[in-house]
């Protein structure tokens, strides 16, 4: 059997793993999880929480490719069961979230732990990687995180909760650090020493931050001198753990209700302040007309989505829309629109990522967490409006490289825009990279397009801006 038919997606859990086979996801569970699974199944807890759908397969329905691959390449442990999982596409990692998303994921993690306490279970880990967002709502994805509780206090995963959720959010509340982007460099979360170093003195006067960061750091540093705490009854353990969870939930819910901090974003009010209303309205009608001519409208990837104005337009046509934008405040606006669920028939996802420095593959063998391009590759349609000049001047990316990127993201159709050298936005950008202005012409842009795409339509939407409708030659 060709081992490339199966792609392993998780590595570090001794009780099982997730694979992708023929674009379908499966969770394989080992016998070592039997006792925990029996408690989980008896509690019916999976019906009480937002967890990705797990369809338990009979042995007759286990994929043959999986069985051949398991015998050949695994530890050869006996399989307890196999689940067919709800497909989530694309996966979005915490370093591509906004702080609002991280906060909602933290709240869900604590709410699940509270629910598990009542069932004699616990979360063995509190990783932000256990959460994905479906239509703007956090959803738990890791069944193997649920374990039969031996003791209820302290919560074993509390330290990981602090690293993955609390410490970054405390930094978000009190500093201007782009905390979720920071997580790309801290894939196991922000440790207490780093958090304490960046947090201002005022956080010593916030009870939750004092306990979770400053006192936690001091207690850990002096743990050799601590006296072993007396053993508590199971009910007292649960009571203490629930009190700790409630303290954190109160902090997070208060943080959630506050308006998102605006860090002087240049783009969050772009369409209101920097664009003529007539141009915006006319361009929308042109783009709508082009989209309507696409025969099979499955997925649209909006590159440089800004506040999601054209992603919203795409939601009226496509069943799946992905907004990729580097500005955190713009992404927060898109996230709020997704949460409002104005387009219930469309799966709309926001990814906070810089196209000039797209998310790389990380984790075990650089295969555990895929790159941005590997997760978005070859979708149906790409929107790239008012983007080319930014890549060309700000990133020193040539037209041929930009067109190659369009091809990487779309095997079918692209709707893009060329903004002429006389446009005030191009004049402003080109001052930073004036040597590149000579080759920045419509003729050169079209010449590179025609190497990979056919131009179905080109429509001027203002004196200096033209929208192109492209179809791949492949």
Q: Model confidence at 275, in pLDDT bands (50, 70, 90)?
A: low
421: helix, coil or strand? Answer: coil
Average pLDDT for 233-241: 75
At 93 the pLDDT is 97
Task: State whether CATH 3.40.50.150 applies to domain 270-472.
Answer: yes
Asked whether this chain's domains 3-85 and 270-472 adopt the same fold, the reply is: no
Report whether pLDDT(225) > 50: no
At 29 the pLDDT is 95
Report whether pLDDT(265) > 80: no
At 386 the pLDDT is 94
Domain-wise residue ranges, the chain: 3-85, 94-224+232-257, 270-472
- State the DSSP H helix or E strand holding residue 466, giving kind and residue range, or none if neither: strand 465-472
* pLDDT (tens digit per residue) in 428-470: 999 988 999 999 999 999 999 999 999 999 999 999 999 999 9
At 1 the pLDDT is 45
Report whether pLDDT(266) > 90: no
Q: Model confidence at 150, in pLDDT bands (50, 70, 90)?
A: confident
Report whether pLDDT(304) > 90: yes
Q: pTM for the full model?
A: 0.91
User: What average pLDDT is seen over the chain?
Assistant: 89
Q: Is 84 exposed, middle or buried, given 0-12, 13-18 or 19+ CB atoms closer than 10 A?
A: middle
At 217 the pLDDT is 67
Say which CATH architecture domain 3-85 belongs to.
Answer: 2-Layer Sandwich (3.30)
Query: To which residue do tokens 């070592």 refer?
Result: 32
What are the tokens at 125? 């880990």
At 221 the pLDDT is 58
Helices (H), 232-376: 234-257, 270-273, 277-292, 309-315, 328-339, 372-376
At 383 the pLDDT is 97
Asked which of 87-101, 169-183, 238-252, 265-279 is least confident by mean pLDDT, the reply is 265-279
At 73 the pLDDT is 59
Average pLDDT for 102-112: 98
């Amino acid at each position: 059997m060709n081992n490339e038919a199966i792609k392993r997606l998780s590595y570090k859990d001794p009780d099982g793993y997730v694979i992708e086979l023929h674009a379908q996801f499966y969770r394989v569970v080992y016998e070592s999880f039997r006792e925990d699974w029996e408690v989980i199944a008896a509690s019916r807890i999976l019906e009480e929480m937002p967890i990705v759908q797990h369809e338990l397969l009979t042995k007759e329905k286990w994929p043959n490719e999986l069985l051949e691959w398991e015998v050949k390449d695994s530890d050869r442990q006996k399989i307890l069961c196999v689940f067919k999982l709800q497909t989530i596409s694309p996966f979005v990692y915490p370093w591509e979230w906004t702080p609002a998303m991280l906060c909602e994921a933290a709240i869900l993690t604590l709410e699940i732990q509270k629910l598990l306490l009542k069932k004699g279970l616990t979360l063995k880990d509190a990783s932000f990687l256990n959460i994905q967002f479906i239509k703007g709502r956090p959803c738990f994805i890791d069944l193997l995180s649920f374990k039969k509780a031996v003791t209820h206090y302290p919560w074993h995963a509390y330290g990981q909760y602090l690293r993955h959720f609390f410490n970054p959010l405390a930094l978000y509340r009190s500093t201007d650090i782009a905390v979720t982007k920071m997580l790309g460099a801290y894939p196991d979360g922000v440790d207490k020493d780093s958090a304490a170093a960046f947090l201002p003195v005022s956080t010593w006067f916030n009870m939750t931050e004092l306990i979770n960061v400053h006192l936690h750091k001091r207690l850990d540093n002096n743990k050799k001198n601590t006296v072993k705490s007396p053993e508590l009854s199971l009910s007292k353990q649960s009571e203490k753990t629930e009190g700790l969870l409630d303290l954190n939930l109160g902090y997070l819910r208060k943080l959630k209700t506050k308006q998102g901090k605006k860090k002087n974003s240049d783009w969050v009010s772009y369409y209101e302040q920097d664009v003529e209303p007539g141009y915006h309205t006319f361009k929308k009608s042109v783009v709508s007309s082009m989209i309507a001519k696409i025969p099979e409208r499955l997925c649209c990837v909006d590159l440089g989505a800004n506040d999601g104005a054209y992603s919203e337009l795409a939601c009226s046509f496509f069943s799946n829309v992905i907004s990729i934008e580097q500005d955190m405040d713009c992404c927060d606006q898109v996230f709020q629109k997704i949460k409002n669920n104005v387009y219930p028939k469309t799966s709309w996802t926001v990814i906070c990522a810089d196209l000039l420095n797209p998310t790389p593959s990380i984790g075990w063998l650089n295969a555990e967490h895929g790159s941005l391009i590997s997760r978005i590759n070859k979708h149906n349609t790409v929107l790239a409006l008012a983007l080319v000049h930014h890549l060309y001047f700000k990133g020193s990316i040539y037209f041929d490289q930009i067109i190659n990127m369009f091809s990487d993201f779309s095997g079918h159709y692209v709707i893009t825009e060329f903004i002429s050298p006389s446009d005030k936005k191009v004049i402003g950008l080109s001052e930073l990279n004036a040597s590149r202005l000579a080759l920045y012409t419509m003729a050169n842009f079209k010449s590179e397009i025609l190497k990979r795409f056919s131009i179905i339509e080109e429509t001027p939407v203002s004196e200096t801006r033209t929208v192109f409708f492209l179809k791949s030659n492949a």
